[in-house]
A = this chain, B = another copy of it.
């Protein structure tokens, strides 16, 4: 499959929200794509289990027989948009074994069988494009593979789940509870009926496994990543600018990999990422801080990324990169992961004090004993006379030490457990920002 003709035959597997967008772009922008690339992109088969799909694209051959549509010798690219790890995996395997290039948005499939599929693609001189698996329409994989290749990437920090970001934006903006915001998100179509995969952070962890793997040239398993969701967050804490971020960070020769709600400084561009927008910050040793921002979900943004991959396969760019770059999970070495207790971070602690006069002395003693120094203390006024919230932020501290101190604090008779603990991200400052 190394040499491409000027006419590229395509089979689209799964023609729902994103698949429909892909077919729309390829048909409506056919002339633009041809004038820009010298190539014509022809959808030869649409495959879906729902025969009603055929009515939406009457001029394109429709079938429910995926295997036949994959096997057609005129098809060079198979676009997998079925989702999940069931039949999608079977068809991707079929396509790669037949030497067809695969373009997919399926992060679950890549998280579970990525290494196997990359290896299979290599064996059959095919390639895999997966830009749409992370960050919707943001061309972040392209940026890591081709835009930032001069850099040793030191950190990747991002907001990569539109559902979480929508919920947190609504909580921040309207002072809603998590439950209220989730209900609103479900009503607006920004959250699934069962939102677990999103709000638990698993979806984000799968994306971090993919992007972190490319950025750090390591094979990252979902289980390498520390996970905390947003479902236990309270609006009190959200008002202080929480986001569900993920962080991958190089700490000496190990990687710190984590998905959790994060306090971001209001000067940080990430603090302005709201609604269904996503953003990824990368820190390279040469380029410093760069950031990529765009819509993380939706039919057309995701279709934009899928079609970009189709075009890059057609141009030969993805096959070249796939063959040459040693950054994919089947060739990269397993990530050396920093144990989570060894993480160094700043922390936000909100505790509920029953007996205010004595509590600060006890709490600061517990922190001090564990080597944690404070950067700020805010004791908030309360209408209820019995308990008072106290917010403490720390300087850089070790996660394990903070957990130990928290256990001691929550055991104090003057404190109502459980103390809320969030991590704070401080991003490097540019000279002129501080000036």
Contacts and interface: CB of A to CB of B under 8 A. Distances in A.
A307 B284 CA distance: 13
> What's the number of copies of this chain in the assembled complex?
2
B147 A143 contact: yes
A38 B311 contact: no
Contact of A301 (B33, B39, B287): B287
A150 B25 CA distance: 7
A152 interface: yes
Interface string A400-425: 00000000000000000000000000
A76 interface: no
Contacts of A35: 217, 326
Interface string A127-142: 0000100000111001
Interface string A282-318: 0011111111111100101101111110111001110
A150 B275 contact: no
Interface string A23-48: 00100010011011111000000000
Nearest to A290: B294
A290 B139 contact: yes
A130 to B, nearest CB: 13
B312 A149 contact: yes
A148 B36 CA distance: 12
Interface string A13-26: 00000000100010
Contact of A288 (B150, B294, B317): B294
B150 A139 contact: no
A327 interface: yes
A284 to B, nearest CB: 6
A430 interface: yes
B327 A320 contact: no
A241 B298 CA distance: 32
B430 A275 contact: yes
A118 interface: no
A179 interface: no
A152 B315 contact: no
A25 B151 CA distance: 8
Interface in A233-280: 267, 269, 272-277
A198 to B, nearest CB: 15
Contact of A320 (B139, B170, B320): B320
Interface residues of A, number: 75
Contacts of A170: 435
A62 interface: no
Contacts of A304: 148, 150-151, 284, 286-287
A25 B294 CA distance: 30
A55 interface: no
B143 A288 contact: no
A286 B301 contact: yes
B315 A321 contact: yes
B290 A326 contact: no
Contact of A308 (B148, B303, B308): B148
A21 B284 CA distance: 14
B295 A292 contact: no
B188 A432 contact: yes
A265 to B, nearest CB: 11
A307 B320 contact: no
A128 to B, nearest CB: 16
A83 B315 CA distance: 32
A430 B277 contact: yes
A275 B267 CA distance: 12
Contact of A326 (B36, B139, B289): B36
14 contacts: A36-B149, A37-B324, A139-B290, A142-B142, A149-B307, A150-B307, A170-B435, A188-B431, A287-B294, A288-B295, A288-B298, A290-B294, A292-B292, A316-B320
Q: Which A-B residue pairs are the 6 nearest by beta carbons?
A: A139-B147, A275-B432, A150-B307, A290-B294, A137-B287, A287-B304
Given A150-B304, A188-B435, A320-B320, 12 more contacts: A29-B285, A138-B290, A146-B146, A149-B312, A277-B430, A286-B301, A286-B303, A287-B294, A287-B300, A292-B293, A316-B324, A317-B317
